[in-house]
Structure 1
Amino acid sequence: MHSPEPARARISVIGAGPGGLTCARILQRHGLAVTVHERDPGPDARDQGGTLDLHADNGQLALREAGLLDEFFALARPEGQEMRQLDPTGKIMFHKVPEAGELFKPEIDRGRLRNLLLGSLRPGTVQWGSALDTIGGPADGPRQLRFTDGTTAEADLVIGADGASSRVRRAVSPAVPEYTGVSFLEAWFSDVENRHPEIAELVGPGSAAAADGDRGLFAQRNGGDHIRVYAIRRAPVDWISANSLAADDTDGIRALLLDEYAHWSPRMRRMITENDGRYVDRPIFALPVPHTWEPHPTVTLLGDAAHLMPPLGVGVNLAMLDAAELALALVRASTVDDAVRTYEKTMLARSTETARALEGGAEHLLSADLPDFDAQP
């Protein structure tokens, strides 16, 4: 089959995260038709996670191409750029306060960013409750999308924006994410100025981190007077069951954490034991480095589906930059195949370079040495 012109192609994006929605928005701005398939039954089906910073040299570039940069700045929290490095007693070892008007990487809650992108799309663009099962059809198209509810769709280009556990990835690569040996355990704190004032003061308006070489804590202020704290530890991927605990055994997990962090100050231990509600286990996975594949004229990947890395501040930014570059390649190319090749040539080189720089980076989160806060991966 001859590769179609992008303007005549049926383009399906799998996944309504920041990358998939950014790609769809930019395609629509340039008059290209696109459908986004999302497994969630609706936009409010689940918590979208914590806060993230969008960098001027990637995430913000993508929002500029999407025509949403001003709206982003209206929602963002520049004060969230403040960073504190603490020791296990709670003493501040390093404190970076952003300059007035600094907007290099302001914070925004993931839910707010998603709503901004969703609101920019034409009605009906996102097909909710549309969980991809398999991709069939010839490699040169058209591709047959089969969803878990038994429905099907046909596409000339399938864009995998479906994250770490991507089903689209299987169509181009046999690679699967591997456990890094480091696990995050998330704890939530709400109404922090009233209910958790000591933690609010410790964390400040941005983020605070501490580590002792074997374990760490990372806390981030979110919008709406919330804070999320992540206990970072080396652990087997099945550490909860290996300790004869269950994911909802909050008291049992708390007792384990108190033992592991026993030599940390009571002030610091508040960040792992006074949380509102249960803990959330988030083991850290990453794709092998490098992760590349031979070009396919009808399937490509972006974001974590293409280059899952440790959570060191680049994931969403790279996903959105990928999305912008792919969308613009489709706008400018004469065929879908040409666009995919142009996009992947740049994206794969960039992601390989970044992934190599961050390989093993989850271990660095446990280091008691002061990080280089000015270094940009």
Structure 2
Amino acid sequence: MHPTTPRIAIIGAGPGGLTCARVLQRSGVPVTVFAHETSVAADPQGGTLELRMTTGRTALRAAGLDEEFTAIARPVRREVRLLDHTATVLLQDTPAPGGPDRNEVDRAGLRRLLLASLTAGTVHWGRYLRTLHPLGDGRHKAEFDDGHTETFDLVIGADGAWSRVRPMLSDDTPHYSGVTFVETGIEDADRRHPDLARLVGSGSMLALSAGKGLLARRHSRGHLLVYAAFRGSQDWALEAGVRVTDTEAVRAVLLDGFAGWDDRLLALLRDIDGGFINRPLFALPVPHAWTHTPGLTLLGDAAHLMTPFAGGGAGLAMLDGCELARALAEGSTPDAAVRAYESTVLPRAARTAGYAARALATAFAPDAPKSMLRLLRADRP
């Protein structure tokens, strides 16, 4: 590292930022992480993440946490089924044994693992970045919403889709993709809804037709994560005169939107446990790049927000964090390290984001599911 150890701040305590902090500390480089949540318990961190050997697992090995991860992870059931709106199975892809190794883990479990690996006091909770003030020579003064300020030689934006660091580097902002996912779920499907469990299979199911889709993915303990997906306004609920918190009203709107679909598929909306969560899909332009600016850089969604059709977003963020930390630990100067990191991460992100954009357009094309069938039969990144 630099003869004078630089002050490094990571804004954001997601998987990418925490991985970066862990690898830095393991290399003897001090770092401070700022999280907008008031505590680790303030964010429920629901859902499941899939970590691939070439991204998230590579990062965990570099962080010295692969054994601990294996203890809390589960093998991924990778079967993919593609159906049309009549519930006819067009493709059932079950990878042969010995294929690429993938594991899944609960978000909360992964976060606890990463947090426990850091030196006590590394994460400063309840610090929401308001703005950054350039001071020259790559230094920036970080101003937080509680009035606290600190000066750093390098600020790493790991603060997600609506990053507060990104505007210092790029004029680009996330744009609505034109597709919205409405999330819900079904518990204990194998016992309580065996017909649905058989329909979804052991992995993921996509039922597509002319700009709409019912998607389901099997998680642990028989849980089915379900999405009603469609092209349209992100303000669809407002335009329909319903509140997303009104479960019965939203269900009626969705069932009307999927009228004519096979009743076995509509059961994914009828037999839910709990309510609905509105998730309009946003993405940064492809490719997203920025002019190198001393003292600043980005990783994860802050750098390359994309729709989920490429898969493995958390793993990609963790790989970003790992590679940036390694470059900083091994580089002659922090600025040279950041330049080297950016020269790698930007082309890689552009390739993955490009695939995600194509896959989204294909899944919700007028001729879907035929268009998606062609894509699934082709090689994927």
TM-score (norm 1): 0.93
Distance 1:283 1:6 in 2: 47
Alignment coverage as a number of residue pairs? 374
Partner of 1:151: 148
Moved more, 261-270 or 158-167: 261-270
- Percent of pairs with identical residues: 47
Question: Deviations 1:164-196 (Å, cap 9, x if unpaired)?
Answer: 100110111111011110111101222333433
2:179 to 177, 182, 185: 182
Distance 1:62 1:160 in 2: 18
What's the offset of the Cα at 1:365? Answer: 2.5
Mapping of residues 1-377 of structure 1, within 5 Å: 5=2, 8-100=5-97, 102-312=99-309, 313-366=311-364, 367-369=368-370, 370=373, 371-372=375-376, 375-377=379-381
What's the offset of the Cα at 1:15? Answer: 0.9
The runs of 5 or more residues in structure 2 that have no matched partner are none
Q: Residue 81 of structure 1 aligns to a residue in which SS? A: coil
Distance 1:276 1:7 in 2: 56
User: 2:363 is matched by which residue type in structure 1?
Assistant: L
Distance 1:86 1:13 in 2: 43
Q: Residue 282 of structure 2 aligns to a residue in which SS? A: strand
Question: Deviations 1:305-348 (Å, cap 9, x if unpaired)?
Answer: 01111112042222111111101000111211111111111111
Moved more, 113-122 or 241-250: 113-122
Q: How much is the aligned-residue C-alpha RMSD, in angstroms? A: 2.0
Change in 2 beyond 3 A, CA 1:224/1:156: farther
Distance 1:109 1:54 in 2: 11
Change in 2 beyond 3 A, CA 1:136/1:294: same
TM-score (norm 2): 0.92
What's the offset of the Cα at 1:98? Answer: 4.1
Distance 2:346 2:206 in 1: 31
Moved more, 195-204 or 235-244: 195-204
User: 2:243 is matched by which residue type in structure 1?
Assistant: A
Distance 2:199 2:340 in 1: 47
**Contact 1:13 1:159 (C-alpha < 8 Å) held by counterparts:** yes
What's the offset of the Cα at 1:224? Answer: 4.1
Q: Residue 77 of structure 2 aligns to a residue in which SS? A: helix
Q: Residue 226 of structure 2 aligns to a residue in which SS? A: strand
What's the offset of the Cα at 1:59? Answer: 1.9
What's the offset of the Cα at 1:86? Answer: 2.5
Distance 1:350 1:308 in 2: 13
Question: Deviations 1:4-61 (Å, cap 9, x if unpaired)?
Answer: 8287111111111111111111111111111111111222323324223212222221
Change in 2 beyond 3 A, CA 1:310/1:299: same
Distance 1:116 1:224 in 2: 21
**Contact 1:85 1:93 (C-alpha < 8 Å) held by counterparts:** yes
The runs of 5 or more residues in structure 1 that have no matched partner are none
Moved more, 233-242 or 148-157: 148-157
Change in 2 beyond 3 A, CA 1:101/1:114: farther
Q: Residue 135 of structure 2 aligns to a residue in which SS? A: coil
Distance 1:96 1:77 in 2: 20
Q: Residue 264 of structure 1 aligns to a residue in which SS? A: coil
Distance 2:312 2:345 in 1: 14
**Contact 1:81 1:107 (C-alpha < 8 Å) held by counterparts:** no
Q: Residue 52 of structure 2 aligns to a residue in which SS? A: coil
What's the offset of the Cα at 1:119? Answer: 2.0
Change in 2 beyond 3 A, CA 1:351/1:34: same
Question: Deviations 1:331-372 (Å, cap 9, x if unpaired)?
Answer: 111211111111111111222233233334322223302242
What's the offset of the Cα at 1:260? Answer: 1.3
User: 1:355 is matched by which residue type in structure 2?
Assistant: A
Question: Deviations 1:79-99 (Å, cap 9, x if unpaired)?
Answer: 422222223233333223344
